[in-house]
Chains A and B, each alone.
Chain A
Amino acid sequence: MNPVTRIDVKDLVVRYGDSIAVNGVSFTVGRGEHLTLLGPSGCGKTTTLRAIAGLEQPSGGSIRIDGQAMYDAAARRNVPAEQRGVSMVFQSYAVWPHMTVFDNVAYGLRVRKQSAADIKTHVERALDLVQMRHLADRPASKLSGGQQQRVALARAVAFSPTVVLFDEPLSNLDAKLRAEMRVELRELQRRLDITSVYVTHDQEEALAISDRVIVMNVGVIEQIGTPEEIYNRPASRFVADFVGSANLLKGRRAGPDTFETEGGTILRIAPGGPEAGAEVAVRTAYIDLVPQPGDNQLPGTVRQRMFHGDFVQYIVECPAGRLIVRRPPVNLLDEGAPVTVSFSPEHTVLLRG
């Protein structure tokens, strides 16, 4: 058993009544790693997370944490949630309204029957980490959303778990707060060297804070990789479409490193990639409108321009089709202007069929 691996999920299957929510999912999480399960609602990411926590009853596969089998279908073994020693932050925070902040955070320690002095120390330290120490005696029912979120976090780390599971913890916050909390979360995780499994549907968030990302769709894994890999080399149409913004061009592989579009244009594509494929993806951010040496170059005309603040989006008509292009918001081009659409073969990724 690799000592670096904290969590090992193999062939996990989880059913909901007649439908299959998680259909044979396998992955590992290394020590101190921040892994994110990313996907649309219904893809099975939350179910997978809850299965690791012991809150869902799987139908097949196995889950090991620190080498110990927590769930193993073959061995008919299922450790109940309260004995798994993992921690969890819930989407709704689940802060108990009938207790104070202190009692909330102390709960896990009290269950483990630690001494009052130890409890005090740990709770205060956890509250310090989230800057909530001054509200320790406040009844939890009187906290704002953001404050509840911090308490949930403090509670999750108070008893020094090695694994923390996050179920979309930021989705109930507004955009600004979410961006701030994202950073704080990452900081906390690094500082305490926690292994975390994080669930979100927000791809921006996933890319920003993860060490690795698993993109899931209808119960199966579409792709596992670092954020850069997911972004630059999407493996399938789903990943290309779900993460970031991409142009999808239909056609067929014409040679070892060429692709012919339906319109007959020949494009040079990135090396590697699947044997056969009917689509290539080109990220909108990777398309330039002036020719660059070494790139695939096509003549085109600007058909529409939309100003988005941080970037400007053009729709450009060219032999390969109508392409969406995102550029920095300077040197705006007018509609009808002639351009040269230019993108490197590195960024022209053949997707699996």
Chain B
Amino acid sequence: MRLLPIVGVALCAIGWSGFAHAQDAKLCDKPVQMEGFKTCADVAKAKAEGAFTLYSTDPEQGQVKLLAAFNKLFPEIKTSYVRLQAGALYAKVLSERQAKSYLVDVIQISDMGMILDFQRKGGFRQYISPEMAAFPKEARSEPEGYWTWGSVIMGGIAYNPNNVPAAEAPKKWEDLLDPKWKDAINVKVSNSGLQHGVWYMLKPILGDDYFKKFAEQKPRAFDSYVQQYGRLVDGQDKIIMGAQYSGYIEFKAKGAPLAFVFPETGVPAVPETYGIVDQAPHPNAANLFMDWFLSPVGQKALADALLLHSPRKDVAPPGGADTVPLDKMKLLSPADWNAFEKDRPSFAKEWNRIVGAGR
């Protein structure tokens, strides 16, 4: 009879270690009202920590702008960042943790598969922000507080009207298979979460053959939309397949000659997901950042810095009046993120072959 309590304790211990940080954290009792957002963080401690580090897939300049907005509110907290594409970023985070080097506070990865994997590994620390309630259910983790969607990105078709006459311009995904676009299309590398989303959503709709034929177009792969749009502008490529809409807005605002197409089939969309890392070096600053970031003030800063769409309904779309808001797009998103996650290895292998990256 003595066995039962022992087993019980053991089971609890195992259960506890597996969900060591899953003991229901709760929303704090008295969120503090800051300028434009509520926070549960210990602001004094956050300031004392004096630093904050973000790993994100967004282009460097954008991250700098975003972090600068945060730093403006809290000058005592020095910010730093690392920018890598999703696969590389996740690989780096995992490597660091293995080496017991805890350098990052908050990560953003644009591939939900990796996010789920990290959650399973116990990589996130649960923190319930008062701002999370305003996010749609699918944009929050289950249980809440491990990760939250910071923005939604979608991929369509982009081209330079100076190099592509209106008559020839592609309107559907199928148009990209036209042989005249051979050697003239660019895409993102297989590391990219968005590219994975494009593949995952379009394959069942357009058929298995689509990407086989697409391979014959010999598309070139790049790490960031900045490179992709740059090459459209200077004419080295003609078309972007799976073009990130926020990049289009950004470049258009700078005066680049660009056109964007939302094919009727729909545009694949994936979230850019943010979460606080377990054993972060500056836990209080991380909490503070999360609260600010998820609030309308932070989301607006994100929109200004990176022209990204917020999942929050009460935040205006980025850019000017021309920008298509989320609810006017036909978004194609995976229903089952777990299946999406499992799809990644085969996607990476196939995609690498398509873009000529060997193996």
State yes or no: do A and B touch (Cβ within 8 Å): no
